């Protein structure tokens, strides 16, 4: 005969199980994302996420560090790399202009965060400024241990169809909670988890100086068509510094640029893109994500309240 205490424990477990299961069904903070495929979610991304400083510094693109960006809710990060003294480093255009430390430190911070957040998926897009080969780039990911979380397509080294990406919940269950893309010199035969950006995405123009963002044409890759690729909207505004032809981030406009709605907003450009391609962007890259209303824009683009 079951003891009274055993019966109470069984009832308690039965009552709490739905709560436990509900908690497990939150992916990137939203239950709605769990059943969606990776290619069917729109994310706000941090452009030049490693270049952090005060808004008055024209070299920087964010004012919150990578851990702060993650804590705030950003899950897509673009980073620019160059080689300094044989170390893959985070440098803005060149390491003489702005040096933000070795890539390994950045990846270690992301791994530490992932270790403590088992229901989240993070994407890193590497801008490979000095054309480092995939094996060398992969060695940095491996050394930090972050590659243990890396997603490898079931079709690797062949392209995974846009319609065949797994759901967030299945990626989380498989422990593949880091997706890595690189713009140039990815080679999935050598490093299967560093995916070629332009196999999987097309991008809209960058270095935009029009505050209305009245365009959404394909900028890269040159020969790309929209079919079969996800797409990235570069929604960060530059300004022509003293009419010298030198473009710098227009950080003081970010409250308007990063608005959810209105002229020149994230929502307005996304609507334009939708009218052209019949689907929302997968990524909207922004500067100074903490200025404006980027998470309302993200919810709107995912049809979430």
Q: What is the pLDDT of residues 242-251, one digit of tens each?
A: 778 788 999 9
| pLDDT tens per residue, range 143-166 | 999 999 999 999 999 999 999 999
Query: Which of these is catalytic: 82, 92, 185, 235?
Result: 92
Contact between residue 90 and residue 138 where contact means Cβ atoms under 8 Å apart: no
Check which CATH number belongs to the domain holding 119 and give it.
3.20.20.190
| pLDDT tens per residue, range 7-58 | 444 444 445 444 444 455 899 999 999 999 999 999 999 999 999 999 999 9
Flag whether 197 is in a domain.
Answer: yes
Nearest CA-CA partner of 231 in 170, 191, 189, 278: 278
- Which residue segment(s) compose the domain that 171 sits in? 28-301
47 is catalytic: yes
Flag whether 263 is in a domain.
Answer: yes
Instruction: Name the residue with higher pLDDT: 183 or 15.
Output: 183
Q: What is the pLDDT at residue 224? A: 76
Flag whether 7 is in a domain.
Answer: no
Flag whether 111 is in a domain.
Answer: yes
Q: Which residues pair with 27 in a beta bridge?
A: 30
Flag whether 13 is in a domain.
Answer: no
Mean pLDDT in the chain? 92
Q: What is the pLDDT at residue 129? A: 97
263: pLDDT strictly greater than 50? yes
Q: How far is CA 138 from CA 41, 73, 189, in A?
A: 26, 26, 12
Flag whether 6 is in a domain.
Answer: no
The tally of domains found in the chain comes to 1
How confident is the model over 277-295, as a mean pLDDT?
98
Flag whether 14 is in a domain.
Answer: no
Q: What is the pLDDT at residue 10? A: 46
């Amino acid at each position: 005969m079951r003891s009274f205490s055993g019966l109470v424990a069984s009832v308690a477990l039965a009552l709490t199980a739905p709560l436990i299961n509900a908690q497990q069904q939150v992916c990137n903070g939203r239950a709605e994302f769990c059943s969606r495929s990776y290619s069917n979610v729109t994310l706000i991304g941090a452009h030049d996420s490693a270049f952090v400083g005060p808004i008055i510094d024209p070299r920087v693109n964010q004012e919150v560090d990578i851990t702060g960006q993650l804590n705030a809710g950003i899950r897509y990060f673009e980073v620019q790399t160059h080689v300094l003294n044989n170390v893959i480093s985070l440098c803005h255009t060149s390491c003489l202009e702005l040096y933000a430390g070795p890539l390994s430190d950045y990846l270690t911070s992301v791994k530490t965060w992932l270790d403590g957040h088992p229901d989240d998926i993070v994407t890193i897009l590497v801008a490979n400024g000095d054309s480092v080969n995939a094996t060398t780039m992969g060695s940095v990911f491996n050394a930090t241990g972050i590659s243990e979380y890396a997603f490898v397509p079931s079709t690797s080294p062949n392209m995974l169809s846009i319609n065949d990406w797994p759901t967030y919940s299945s990626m989380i269950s498989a422990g593949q909670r880091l997706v890595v893309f690189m713009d140039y010199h990815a080679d999935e035969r050598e490093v299967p988890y560093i995916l070629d950006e332009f196999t999987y995405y097309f991008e809209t123009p960058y270095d935009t100086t029009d505050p209305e963002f009245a365009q959404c044409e394909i900028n890269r890759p040159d020969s790309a068509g929209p079919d079969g690729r996800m797409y990235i909207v570069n929604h960060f505004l530059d300004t022509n510094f003293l009419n010298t032809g030198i473009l710098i981030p227009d950080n003081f406009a970010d409250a308007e640029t990063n608005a959810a709605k209105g002229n020149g907003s994230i929502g307005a450009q996304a609507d334009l893109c939708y009218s052209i391609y019949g689907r929302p962007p997968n990524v909207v890259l922004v500067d100074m994500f903490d200025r404006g209303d980027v998470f309302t824009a993200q919810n709107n683009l995912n049809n979430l309240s």
